[in-house]
Amino acid sequence: MAANNVTRLLDARKIKYQAFELPVEKISARHTALLLNISPHIVYKSIVVVREKPGKTILAVIPGDHEVDLKTLAAHLSEKKLRIPTQREAEQLTGLQAGGISPLALINKGFQII
Between CA 53 and CA 64, with CA 59 as vertex, the angle to 5 degrees is 135
State the Cα–Cα distance between residues 91 and 93, nearest whole angstrom: 6
Q: Which amino acid, one-letter code, is at 59?
A: L
pLDDT tens for the 114 residues of the chain, in order: 677 778 888 999 999 998 888 888 888 899 999 999 999 999 999 999 999 988 999 999 999 999 999 999 999 999 999 999 999 999 999 999 888 898 988 988 999 999
Whole-model pTM: value is: 0.84
Sort 94 into a burial class: Cβ within 10 Å, 0-12 / 13-18 / 19+: buried
Query: What are residue 13's phi and psi, to 5 degrees?
Result: -95, 10
Residue-wise over 23-62: b if at least 16 C-beta within 10 A, else e?
eeeeeebebbbeeeeeebeebebbbbbbbeeeeebbbbeb
